[in-house]
Structure 1
Amino acid sequence: MPFLRRGRRGNIGRLFMRLAQELVAGQKHLATLPDLYYKLRQALADPEVRVSELARLIENDPSLTATLLQVANSAFYGFPRRIETVSRAISLIGLDQVGEIVLTATLAGAFHGIRPRRMDMDRFWRGSIRRALMCRQFARHLGAREAERAFVIGLLSDMGHLVMYHAVPDLMGIVLDMGQENLNELAEKERSIVGCDFAEVGAALCSSWHLPEHIGQVIGAQLDPLSAPEGLHEEAARLNLAISVTELLARGETVTAGISVLDEDAPELSGVDLALLPVLAEHCEAQLDSVLRSLGLS
């Protein structure tokens, strides 16, 4: 099947999305997150939430407590004194950053022990954190208020592959054996062999987790930003550009303003000054190992 831009696929696109939803629904242990996550998300959404209330919720989970304190004491933040309480960590880190840590730690815990065949989980998490950091860098560069949302979108953008490798490993093995030059070709082969692609599965997973609708919409449009709903084109373009940058970083290649992009419209739509890409990428790489270690992902 030739590559079709998502925004122009009509009934075919709806069919692919329905198949993606069925794929997610069949993986019941991946299709839900722990109740604690939803309680914390609800608390974080309350502008009048108290630090003490958040601390009590987090302290109900020893693993999450340990992760938060480890992150707070990591070189990533570099606080001069050791932080020994959850309430102190929340006060110093800030609610937005706590939200990022909670989601990342929750996902790491939920998928702990899952080792799909032919999927390198260390590489997967490294790539996911890279995307998250790059999306956050773009948001901050543009002065966006939703830097935490950008981090979450980047973090979740490749989760569809985790579901696919776990649910249909033999079909994904066929896709891998066919070879591909970039994510556009990979998605095309996934649609041909599996019946849907990783972006569609990722969007379906976000819906299953009851995340805000726009997060799944941006993730579903990551390869074709113009297919996102009106008002989300720019955010989808920034994700697309972040993926292009992080793919280069993963291969150890140099990031320049003239990088090859996955979608020709992404650079202009994103609003990002491409001349700053090398600097933004350098900031991302400087944080990567510290974030991975503090979250127990390396």
Structure 2
Amino acid sequence: MHLAQELVAYVDRLATLPDVYLKVRSALDDPDVSIAEVADVIATDPSLTAALLRLANSAFYGYARKIESIQRAVSLIGLEQVHDLVLATSVTAMFSGIRPQRMDMARFWRDSVRRGMLAREVARTLRGVSPERLFVSGLLADAGHLVMYVAVPDLMALVLDTPPGDGDTLPDVERRIIGCDFAEVGAALTAKWQLPVTFGVLIGAQLQPETAGDNAPAAALLNLVSAVATQAGDGSDYEYPLHHRSEALAGITRDEVEAVLPSVEAQMEMMMAVLANA
């Protein structure tokens, strides 16, 4: 049986985020940092610069005028949001070179983008929830599976080949066979990356959102969005386990989340293209 932290330690390729992200995060940790200083750090990486400008000029933000400089983009988008978008583009680049056996990476990435975009759009309708933070949390919500497929491929194959019992969910089977579930592993990965604590709390509590304390509404939203996005995807052997209190904790119904899905699907190709070139 394995602990989530053990699985993360096995995966060297996912152990460290790119230097440019670490430099951006270090700059943002300085309370006196200026927009120009953050823009200068981002500008040292041409691919990141291009990716952020594509995002800033996409329908994702919908600004009326074209944004032609990183400093202008940072000014308009905001420092915390820029951090989260730099993180999203950095993670995209890391995931692109990984091809674990028995994992459909094209489907994994499409499902991740759908979940992130849906989380962001729903979060925009609620108070006290950061849309960009939910976007990245949705993008990373299933990253634990990526670690598990790379670290223990034989055990994951056994999970996939095990017929679900009465009332079984995918995390139930994972805990029984591997010793931990994908949410635990995803949270351990964010800790390994030393991301802001909120990401680990949301991803780790997505299956039991009431355990997230003050972040319970956001964790419940992630649970609700993940259930809707999984159902809208290309299919899975298991249904994503919707928690019975997610609607009440998040303050929104599943029907209301599903109503947002068509607008997300309409923008999927745009976002896939933007992130693919990150």
- CA distance in 2 between counterparts of 1:182 and 1:122 reads 30
List aligned pairs for 1:21-100, cutoff 5 A: 21-46=5-30, 48-79=32-63, 82-100=66-84
Among 258, 262, 265, the alignment partner of 2:245 is 265
**Counterpart of 2:206?**
222
**CA distance in structure 1 between the aligned counterparts of 2:45 and 2:186, rounded to whole angstroms:** 27
Taking structure 1 as the reference length, the TM-score comes to 0.82
The alpha-carbon distance between structure 1 residues 59 and 184, as it changes in their structure 2 partners (threshold 3 A), is farther
CA offset digits 1:102-128 (Å, max 9, x no partner): 111101122231111111112111111
TM-score for the superposition, normalised by structure 2: 0.87
| Maintained 8 Å contact 2:169/2:241 | no
Q: Deviations over 1:139-169 (max 9, x none)?
A: 2211225222222221211110110111111
Gaps of 5+ in 1: 1-15, 253-259
What is the one-letter code of the residue matched to 1:236? A
Query: Is contact 2:129–2:218 with CA below 8 Å preserved after alignment?
Result: no
Q: Residue type of the partner of 1:248?
A: Q
Q: Is the 8 A contact 1:40 1:57 kept in 2?
A: yes
Secondary structure of 1:223 counterpart = coil
CA 1:93–1:191 in 2, change beyond 3 Å: closer, same or farther?
same
Q: How many aligned positions are there?
A: 274
Does 2:259 correspond to 1:279? yes
Structure 2 segments unaligned to the other structure (5+ residues): none
CA RMSD of aligned residues (A): 2.7
What is the 5 A alignment of 1:1-298?
A: 19-46=3-30, 48-79=32-63, 82-180=66-164, 185-226=169-210, 228-251=211-234, 262-296=242-276
Question: What is the distance in 1 between the residues matched to 2:61 and 2:130?
Answer: 20
Q: Which moved more, 1:119-128 or 1:145-154?
A: 145-154
8 Å CA contact 2:99–2:105 kept in 1: the answer is yes
Structure 1 residues 119 and 181, CA, compared in 2 at 3 Å: closer, same or farther? farther
- Could you tell me how far apart the structure 2 residues matched to 1:115 and 1:131 are? 21
